[in-house]
Structure 1
């Protein structure tokens, strides 16, 4: 009688653990694929050089977070998340999809946190312009 009771308790715990694992796996299923595909786009930082027009920078990086004049000279700060190329994002999404299928969804327990962690790098640049709104100096702003 005692062995049957111990077996029943074990089976209940095993069933509960299995159900929880299945529910968790289903709830995060496909997240890493979606997250990889929705990572930020790669910005062309080679445009941050002397002689490039202000309009070109705004079209690539968006509106500056700060724009001000000092001594009749325009200074702006562009802040953005440097993302990934389309090919890199597609490759990551494909890998996550294949890994999820191969592991019956268990890969999502690793893939989703990985995509949360690797979501681009924050970057900031200070740009100054000449009288024709062409870049005359660029400085990388770093966190110290």
Structure 2
């Protein structure tokens, strides 16, 4: 009888440790979602260097004959750090509580909610300060 109990305990510990070590994809996916960009910087008068610091290198740049410049930025709008941490913690707890079954729901959900692509066209004056912003993709 003691061997049977010992085998049960080893099996249960193996399952729990496997779930804890492999709790999985959804936790990692939630933590690795794209960061939220500060689109409020896209206002008249903001310097180009500040915009590039937030959004990176534009996907295209056009220098016009009147010394203005037009940049197009395209990126995935992500989530705040607190949202990503909260989602990761929730998935981790749900994984442990369901012995890993939560991954069946959570992994496709995290794949679907991985941010939205948005694009802006930004026009700068001769001193590289924003004069106009047009949202191209919502």
TM-score range, shorter chain: 0.7 to 0.9
Q: Which residue of 1 aligns with 2:50?
A: 56
C-alpha RMSD of matched pairs (Å) = 1.8
CA distance in 1, matches of 2:63, 2:128: 12
Q: Does 1:36 align with 2:34?
A: no
Q: Which residue of 1 aligns with 2:106?
A: 111
Cα distance, 1:69 vs structure 2? 1.9
8 Å CA contact 2:117, 2:137 repeated in 1: no
Higher Rg of the two aligned structures: 1
Cα distance, 1:29 vs structure 2? 3.9
CA distance in 2, matches of 1:54, 1:80: 17
Give the gaps of 5 or more residues in structure 2. Answer: 1-14
Q: Which residue of 2 aligns with 1:12?
A: none
CA distance in 1, matches of 2:94, 2:23: 11
Cα distance, 1:142 vs structure 2? 2.4
Q: Which residue of 2 aligns with 1:66?
A: 60
Give the gaps of 5 or more residues in structure 1. Answer: 1-21
- TM-score, normalising length: structure 2: 0.81
CA distance in 1, matches of 2:132, 2:108: 39
Aligned residues: 119
Cα distance, 1:71 vs structure 2? 3.5
Q: Does 1:129 align with 2:121?
A: no
Deviating beyond 3 angstroms after TM superposition, the runs of 4 or more aligned structure 1 residues are none
CA distance in 2, matches of 1:74, 1:38: 34
